[in-house]
Amino acid sequence: MINKLNEECAVFGVSVKSEDAAGIVYNGLLALQHRGQEGAGIAVLSRQAIKMHKDMGLVSEVFHGERIIELSPAHLAIGHTRYSTTGNNTKENVQPFVTEYLTGRIAMAHNGNITNAKVLRDELFSEGIDFVASSDSEVVSALMAYYIVKKKNTIEGIIAAAKELQGAFSIIIMTSRKQLIAIRDRHGFRPLCIGKNEAGMSIASESCALDSCGFHFVRDICPGEIVVIEDGKEIFSEKVLDSSDISMCIFEYVYFARQDSVLDHQSVYKARFEMGRVLAKEAPIEADAVCGVPDSGLEAAVGYAEESGLPLISGFAKNRYIGRSFIFPSQAQRENAVKLKLNPMRVNIEGKRIVLIDDSIVRGTTSANIVRALKEAGAKEVHMRISSPPFRFTCHFGTDIDNEENLIANRMSLNDIRKQIGADSIAFISVDGLKAACADCSLEFCTRCFTGYEKNEQSNCNKRELED
């Protein structure tokens, strides 16, 4: 069962004049590591052949030693960091996927969740197509290869395949014909953007990866749009998937995206800062100081402190070298696990009434451990403030939310949650308040995990933006 929400996957691709495409993608994946830590992979087009390396682990673990040199020289490359939402956590399910067909090969990387993957898999299997993995992304790659052969045209085949897909997808494809292709689902659930520099162009899940690799942000890819890049230049773009239901996942701004990214015109840092300000207006409290839970609560804590006039303090020292491996042989060690990563700063919190800001509460276990650690360090009171509304519904589009019966907001009243985590008070931001904090976003939002429904409104990602 899940204590905190987990990251999404990330995609990154480049088409450049230089021969170091693999190294650029490696750096891009490092910048996007926060979106998935289970596995990583890079595929390149080198001397007319697609080569690939992928494995379980962090980017730096998968591509240690000579791996990047083995993937060079290359002008074209794509990469992926994985957090599994469908399919087992095995090497076979790590992306990219390379699919061979009669007239060529494609490599594909995908962020999202295809809700009709089983139906498509069964249909492709009946056509004689075999599968080696259990991921919906392998189905997408096979479907695209199938339609490329059927249409006898790469772009038309990818478009035809995309029209069959239901759910969330931000996809990049590398072809053996030296093309880098990107397509975003008709709803715009997951982010995807374009960068450019003197060497060529890149596609990334977040703009922070463009910055890290020396590309200037050009624009977001609009929902339903396909973009084709060849020899470092954009040669074609068009909106090919129609929808009146534009629904960017609002939790990208709460937690998934890196704070220095800009997604669909909305600064992630500014959105989180405004969430804190909204919380201070919606749920004020008499206290002595404000602190955020590293790292996801820090920006909202700044906003809460500014709006409330309370001083902002550093509440925790974070162990940045602990990695992913925890060993808890006893219940007592499990209960104190939070201190391995976050140790309270007694000098800042002892004897004080603390407003504690975090991004979410899923089951409540992590929050209870953090509140207890603060009180053991001498906090007089701990008032919990959460920058997302209570989670009540499972997501079908790639956000790894626990089963609804395990979500604390479905099992307890607000006061019972307060008692469960040991806080002196608790408040969640409202859905309207969260939307207001993200008001610069050019798309409408999916808030189904909070409300159980999606608002159907048209995006203002318009024709002018496509033409630009």
The secondary structure of 80-96 as a DSSP string is EEE--SSS-SSGGGPSP
**pLDDT at residue 50, as a whole number:** 95
214: CB partners within 8 A, 6+ apart:
197
307: CB partners within 8 A, 6+ apart:
276, 277, 280, 281
Q: How confident is the model over 295-317, as pLDDT tens digits?
A: 889 999 999 999 999 999 999 99
pLDDT mean across residues, the chain: 89
Q: pTM here?
A: 0.90
Q: How confident is the model over 250-278, as pLDDT tens digits?
A: 999 999 999 999 999 999 999 999 999 99
**pLDDT at residue 340, as a whole number:** 77
Q: How confident is the model over 191-219, as pLDDT tens digits?
A: 999 999 999 999 999 999 999 999 999 99
146 pLDDT more than 90: yes
The full length of the chain comes to 468
2 within a domain of the structure (yes/no):
no
Range of the domain at 88: 10-243
- Shared domain for 37 and 148, answered yes or no, is yes
465 within a domain of the structure (yes/no):
no
Find out whether 283 and 356 touch, Cβ atoms under 8 Å.
no
CA angle 206, 212, 218 (to 5 degrees): 55
210: CB partners within 8 A, 6+ apart:
28, 193, 195, 202, 204, 216, 217
- Shared domain for 304 and 405, answered yes or no, is yes
Active-site positions?
A: 9
138: CB partners within 8 A, 6+ apart:
87, 93, 97, 131, 132
**pLDDT at residue 87, as a whole number:** 53
- Shared domain for 286 and 412, answered yes or no, is yes
β-sheet bridge partners, residue 106: 99, 175
* Structural domains of the chain, count: 2
- Shared domain for 102 and 176, answered yes or no, is yes
Query: Percent of the chain at pLDDT above 90?
Result: 74
105 pLDDT more than 50: yes
- From CA 283, how far away is CA 428, in angstroms rounded? 8
Find out whether 235 and 200 touch, Cβ atoms under 8 Å.
no
**pLDDT at residue 468, as a whole number:** 28
Give the residue, 343 or 89, on which the prediction is more confident: 343
Which residue's entry shows tokens 């495409």? 21
- Shared domain for 207 and 293, answered yes or no, is no
- From CA 93, how far away is CA 78, in angstroms rounded? 16
Give the residue, 327 or 43, on which the prediction is more confident: 43
CATH classification of the domain holding 111: 3.60.20.10
131 within a domain of the structure (yes/no):
yes
- Shared domain for 332 and 392, answered yes or no, is yes
Find out whether 21 and 77 touch, Cβ atoms under 8 Å.
yes
**pLDDT at residue 92, as a whole number:** 81
Find out whether 387 and 321 touch, Cβ atoms under 8 Å.
no
Task: Specify the DSSP class assigned to residue 253.
Answer: I
Please report, for residues 328, 355, 385, the alpha-carbon distance to residue 380 in angstroms, rounded to integers and kept in the order given: 29, 11, 16
333: CB partners within 8 A, 6+ apart:
none
- HSE-CB at 135 with a 13 A cutoff on CA atoms is 27
**Residue 142 in 3-state DSSP?**
helix
Encoding tokens for residue 371?
């509140």
- Shared domain for 306 and 377, answered yes or no, is yes
* CA gyration radius, the chain: 23
